[in-house]
Amino acid sequence: MNPNLNPENQDRLLEVVLRDEDWQITSAAGKAQAVAAMRTSQYRRRALRRAGGAAALAAALSCAALWFGRTRPSLPPLAQKRAEPPAAAKPGRYLTDDELLASFPQGSCFLFEVDGRKELVFLDPEVERQYVGRP
C-alpha cells in the first residue's frame, strides 16, 4: 500500500469513473445480482424451515402411531367351561336328632329349639372349636 496518497490522483480517478457510462450499467447489474442472491438465500432458508417442520411432524406422527399401535399384554383366557345348572336336588339322608348328638362326645352338646328352629348348643368351648371352628 502506498502511504503517500495524492489527493489529486484520487480526484482524477473518481472523475473518470463517474463520467463513464458503463459505471451506471455495472452498478445496476451489481444491484440486480445482489437482490437475486438475497432472494435465493431467503428461498433456501424458507425451504429448510419447511423441511424441518415436515420432518418434525413426521417424527411426531410415527411416534404416535407406535404408541397407539403397540400391542397390549393379553390377559389369560377366561375359563371356557360354563357352570352347569345344579341338577334336581336329590333327596339326601338327614340325620335324626339322636344321630347328630351321638356324633359328638357324650355330654358336650344338646339341641335347643327357638321359634320352631332347632339349634345345636355346645357346653365345652374346646369341642365347639374342634368341630365347628368358632372361637
Domain ranges of the chain: 7-69, 97-131
Q: What is the pLDDT of residue 54?
A: 93
What count of residues does the chain have?
A: 135
Q: What confidence score (pLDDT) does residue 22 get?
A: 67
Tens of pLDDT, residue by residue over 25-59, are: 777 778 888 888 899 999 999 999 999 999 999 99
7 vs 57, which has greater pLDDT? 57
Cα–Cα distances (Å) from 1 to 4, 5, 17, 85, in that order, read 9, 10, 21, 114
Predicted confidence (pLDDT) per residue in 71-123, tens digit: 766 666 655 556 666 666 566 778 888 888 888 888 888 898 888 898 888 88
